[in-house]
Structure 1
């Protein structure tokens, strides 16, 4: 896999991390949204590791 693809995946991963942090900092965080974001983040991490 080329490094630009890995870089794109890492950017998406960082974006999801930011979204999770933003949701957690809200007064009433939506746990289903957080769970969904964490699953997407994990899938991206697994794909990055495979590359």
Structure 2
């Protein structure tokens, strides 16, 4: 059960990273969106670290 939760968090983390990269590669990235995505990614990373 624990590994599946970490796997799900890892997938979510990777998805957020991809969205951040896609947004920042646009000609006029939405800085507020990027900041929000980065905060979400950090929360996921913290949760992954707290589960080990």
Smaller-chain TM-score bracket = over 0.9
Give 5+ residue unaligned stretches, structure 1. Answer: none
Give 5+ residue unaligned stretches, structure 2. Answer: none
Structure 1 length normalisation: TM-score? 0.97
CA RMSD of the aligned region, Å?
Answer: 0.9
Instruction: Report runs of 4+ in structure 1 exceeding 2 Å deviation.
Output: none
Structure 2 length normalisation: TM-score? 0.95
